[in-house]
Structure 1
Amino acid sequence: MKSDTSAKASRSVKRTVWNVARIIAVVVVLSFVAREFLFTNYIVYGKSMMPTIHDGERIIVNKFNYEINQPNRFDLIIFHANEESDYIKRVVGLPGDELYYEDDILYVNDEPISEDYLDYHREQYDGEPFTEDFTLEEVTSETVVPDGHVFVLGDNRQNSVDSRDIGFVPLEEIVGRVNMAFWPPKSVRFF
């Protein structure tokens, strides 16, 4: 009788261990798939996106289908700037756009575009231009944003390495769209 109870207990333990192992395997696979293809997180380094996103904040990036979807104007994106670094910037120019800055106003295809997210910085500059005048041709030698590329700027225009310096960002170098900041907890917000 004792050996029968012992065998049942042994089978029960083995079944429990097997079930736990399967659950752990499923969680690991789902985590890998989610991180590789759907979402990932980043820590922001630098001040180029302040005050929208601060140095040291942690953000969630939506990678789902982003490589086949055209980014929207004013999306916050993460992209591979070079082999060592990924940058976070704001899309201001889409393929086919002509753009320029004049008197601190963004013009896209000769239409003035409101950038309310820059109001904080503009107030700090007390009437001085926050974004220096430039034309697309002056900073890239192109008159329009080429197909398959976007033009990006940091929100902290005086302290940002962006398309004015590195040129257009190829769509295939975009990792994804920033969806939210989640750390520190007091600063949780969606974009």
Structure 2
Amino acid sequence: MSARLYSKVLGFLGYTLQYSCIAHCTFEYVGEFVVCSGPSMEPTITNHDVVFSERLSRHLYRIEKGDIVIAKSPFDPNMNICKRVIGLEGDKVCTSGPSDTFKTHTFVPRGHVWLEGDNLQNSTDSRSYGPVPYGLIRGRVCLKLWPPHSVGTLTESPNAGRILRTE
């Protein structure tokens, strides 16, 4: 009797390990569901919206200007941030804050991106901490899943005119 119980426990543990590995690989290499918090991406993404962040674009170096990404915070590696890509390496970006009188421009260094929130008056982003290493990007947000009335792909940035082109 105990051999049969032992066999069932081992079988259960084997299936659990297999499904755990599949789930880990899926969330690490395919994508993940993210609950966003804070006002920095309003009106595009509001507090408690649920989005799907796919990871293939990051691995294939397919992140483009205008994409919304989930990245590790440059200040706190235990926290993720959700921001829009404004500039890629070699791009010239306007770095002035909303209250700055003078506008300055910065070139995004190699291997980095410039991230900003859509809500410029209420966002801590690259204007505060500078260019973000590409390696901190976890994925590209491709779908909004919650709330139900706003399910679908995400709209263009309300600040689309601020995205500068490489010269």
TM-score (norm 1): 0.65
Aligned residue in 2 for 1:60: 52
| TM-aligned CA distance change 1:65 to 1:52, over 3 Å | closer
Computing the radius of gyration from Cα coordinates, the structure with the larger value is 1
1:30 aligns with 2:22: yes
After superposition, the Cα gap between the structure-2 partners of 1:131 and 1:53, relative to the gap in structure 1 and judged at 3 Å, is farther
- Matched AA of 2:30: L
CA distance in 2, matches of 1:187, 1:131: 34
* Rounded Cα–Cα distance in structure 2 between residues aligned with 1:62 and 1:78: 9
Output the amino acid matched with 1:95: E
Structure 1 stretches of at least 4 aligned residues deviating more than 3 Å after TM superposition: 20-29, 129-133
Amino-acid identity (%) = 32
What are the residue-to-residue correspondences of 1:27-176 with 2, within 5 Å? 27-81=19-73, 82-100=76-94, 134-136=103-105, 143-176=106-139
Counterpart AA for 1:172: G
Q: Find the aligned partners of 1:84 and 1:21 in 2 and give their Cα distance.
A: 30
For 1:123, the equivalent position in structure 2 comes to: none
Q: Is the 1:61–1:178 Cα contact (8 Å) retained in structure 2?
A: yes
What SS does structure 2 have at the residue aligned with 1:179?
strand
Could you tell me which residue of structure 2 aligns to residue 183 of structure 1? 146
| RMSD (Å) for aligned C-alpha atoms | 3.0
Answer yes or no: is the 8 Å Cα contact 1:49–1:155 preserved in 2. yes
Q: Counterparts of 1:101 and 1:147 in 2: how far apart (Å)?
A: 17
> Residue type matched to 2:70 in 1?
I
Partner of 1:116 in structure 2?
none
Confirm or deny: 8 A CA contact 1:131 1:158 kept in the other structure. no
